[in-house]
Amino acid sequence: MTPSRNTSALTSPNEWQPRSDAKTLTVGISSTALFDLSVSNAIYQKEGLEAYRRYQISQEDTSLEPGGGFYLVEKLLNINKIWNEPRVEILLLSRNSADTGLRVFNSIKAHELDITRAAFCGGDSPYRYIRAFNCDLFLSTNADDVRQALAQNIAAATLLGRTRPTKESAEGLLKIAFDGDSVLFSDEAERVYQQRGLEAFSESELDQANESLAGGPFKAFLAALHRLQQEFPEGQSPIRTALVTARGAPAHERVIRTLRDWDIRLDESLFLGGMDKTEFLRAFEADIFFDDQATHCDRAAEHIPTGHVPHGITNVDQSAKKE
């Protein structure tokens, strides 16, 4: 609940490797991403921390409404109903204190979400506990916390807007869509495009078609999803993934060969050649979409839950323009 710290590192090491130990897919989520805390946060912004604390305590028995990440969490937890032991764990990582966070835990219970672990950080950022919890993914509405997580080589995204599917959709497939460059892959190709233009980008990708791209911040999370999918018989996985990229031919080949080299399968791959992604994401019925470019995210967030990944050259350039 305190003002965010300014963080600097938007780019990260060249390679992001999947965890090789646990079978459990672990997702950390902030309280403001899980529930709609807009009313209480408005009180904090207008009247201060003590007024916020009094309000949260007075409303402890009033359940919070779902936030932007609620139905994604619900679908993830539904996967556990298939096995005798959990394959997915959701962790609550919050800037609240335990005192003000009691309403959040009461809401978790009221909504029958199987979440038992949490870190309440009393106004500080919870990012330092993300690695300790072995998180594969961190979702928050606080961009600074997300950048801190990315700097630790953890897949992380800022949830935008309050677009939510209907509750009934929680019973269906979990559908996750990813952008390619600067998300699944490093920003090496995006740098060529930004600095030298489309023609140079196409020539570079054609020349390097047999050279795998380095992994981006979401490579490890995709690998974890892929391992989970492989535990199901073919055609019976409750998870479906898609690559939705502005790339088109001839830049498609390097992507396909990279994923083959990683031994990671995506269920669907859309090479749009610069077309707007929004209608394709709606057709895929994505439960969440991850992209590094704010303009793509803003358009998509009007229709589906969207996570902005503040990584790579596009975000470095935008940060420089704001300074």
Res 212: pLDDT:
84
pTM of the model: 0.87
d(CA 289, CA 309): 10
CATH superfamily label, 25-159: HAD superfamily/HAD-like (3.40.50.1000)
Residue 179 annotated to the active site: yes
Which residue's entry shows tokens 């928050």? 140
Res 318: pLDDT:
53
d(CA 159, CA 101): 20
- Residue range(s) in the chain whose domain bears CATH number 3.40.50.1000: 25-159, 173-322
What average pLDDT is seen over the chain? Answer: 85
Residue 275's contacts (CB-CB under 8 Å, 6 or more residues apart) are 246
Helix H, strand E, coil C: the string for 2-42 is CCCCCCCCCCCCCCCCCCCCCCCEEEEECHHHHECCHHHHH
173-322 in CATH: which number?
A: 3.40.50.1000
pLDDT digits (tens, 9 = 90+) for 159-174: 997 655 544 454 589 9
Catalytic residue selected from 179, 181, 187, 287? 179
d(CA 57, CA 99): 8
Res 123: pLDDT:
84
Res 148: pLDDT:
93
pLDDT (tens place) for every residue of the chain, 323 residues total: 433 333 333 333 344 444 444 478 999 999 999 999 989 889 988 998 889 889 899 999 999 999 999 999 999 999 998 887 789 999 999 988 888 889 999 999 999 999 999 999 988 888 889 999 999 999 999 999 999 999 999 999 999 976 555 444 545 899 999 999 899 998 887 787 777 777 777 777 677 778 888 999 999 999 999 999 998 888 889 999 999 998 888 888 989 999 999 999 999 999 998 899 999 999 999 999 999 999 999 999 999 999 999 998 888 855 444 43
